[in-house]
Structure 1
Amino acid sequence: MSVRKSFETEVERAFHFLVAEYGLSRPAGGGSLVSYSGDGLSYQIVLDPAARSVTTSVAKDLGEVRLTADLPALVVGAALGAPGNVRCGARTVTELRATVLAQAAYVRRLQPYLTPLNVLPLMRAAHAREQRPQS
Structure 2
Amino acid sequence: MGNICSRSKNEPESFTTPGRVLGSNPSPAPNKPAGPRAPLPAKATTGRPLGGGGAPGAGDDTADARSNAAIAAQKRAESAGGKGKLGSKLAAQKAQTHTQTLTEASRDERAARDADNAASARRWE
Question: TM range, normalised to the smaller chain?
Answer: under 0.3
Is the helix fraction higher in 1 or 2?
A: 2
If you compute each CA radius of gyration, which structure gives the higher value, 1 or 2?
Answer: 2
Is the strand fraction higher in 1 or 2?
A: 1
Which structure is higher in RCO with an 8 Å CA cutoff and minimum separation 6?
A: 1
